[in-house]
Structure 1
Amino acid sequence: MSDAIADAKRALRAELRERRQCLSPQARETAEAGIHAQLDALVAEHGARSISCFLSTTAEPGTRSFVADAVARGIRVLLPVTRADGLLDWAVATPEGDIAEGMYGLPEPVGELLGPIAVNDVDLLVIPAASVDRTGMRLGWGRGFYDKTLGSMERCPPVYAVVFDSEFVDEVPSDELDERVTGVITPTRTITLAPTRR
């Protein structure tokens, strides 16, 4: 990756992080309700019985109420657990929803760990992002967990990134290691950008 691209990514991430920190509690609550509704509709549209999702931090568009509701409805939800080697393990979300602080301070499920290939069996992937552009290029937070996961999957189901409305943009800086997503979920809409990946 060139220095110019790395610098552009760093600058954009810092701007987005700051913008997220400034959101009011009411704006966060409204966003979580919107994300919940959009994800419910997406799961129904795909007839998904097994999905991957993530436990949102306080700065991210909220996914936790959706995860709890999906589990209560009998949908198998795999949640990511970070590893030191840059890959993701997975754990099945439970009704108890026990959570611990994982690597990098991220909220992660407590439970039996499944290896990185467990995600190969899901019908739909729902992943975090800092921003996504109109070509489906995703800007993550710089650690590469999801780019490695998506890049290593044999048969990748539809992948939707969750962002706030203002984070769906015309273009994000990218390099050859970055992976595109199928679509974007925001609090107000679901946008499908590309056909299902390979």
Structure 2
Amino acid sequence: MPLFRNAQFEISIAKPSGLPPPSGAEIAFAGRSNAGKSSAINTLAGHVRLAFVSKTPGRTQLINFFRLNCGAVLVDLPGYGYAAVPERVKQQWQGLMEKYLKERESLIGLVLIMDARRPLTELDRRMLDWFLPSGRPVHVLLTKSDKLSRGAASAVLHEVRRALAPHGERVTVQLFSSLKKSGVEEAERVVGGWLGLDGNGAPAAAPQSGA
């Protein structure tokens, strides 16, 4: 079964004190408000409304935990950026995400969602600069790639990979489209690698030695 398929909602938390005890490796999903994070999670999970989708930025106001069949946890973080919410609420979100991303020992990697039409915004770069010193890997999903022509999408992919190349193999980048359901297998393969699994959530085969 695909890695993210049949993910089950487990808990939502609004304050750092509400974080549940770690029970399995955790993969966080983050991104600028309205970059397509909820749609990407739903597409990966094969579920229409696992994560709430809205055209209004900033609707994900909690940290939501979803259990995968393999025992790992998909963690949906509040969107960052221009959400039209009170400053007090923004500060609460920031504190919640900072506590989670900096101190959560069970967190093994970050899937960073960027709109392919507007990648590497100042906020995206700030998130990378802030998270990468942890030593954990980052996988960038360039969502809404269906909004671009094939040539333009390929050019964006090349440019983002070039811009992030100084970070080495810890940062990987791919195109993704929730509308066309494209890029799912690549995302599963990368995140599965973090977990020591293949794209179907099974233990990855050990490399065979040469004869």
TM-score category (smaller protein): 0.3 to 0.5
Q: TM-score, normalised by structure 2?
A: 0.40
Q: TM-score, normalised by structure 1?
A: 0.42
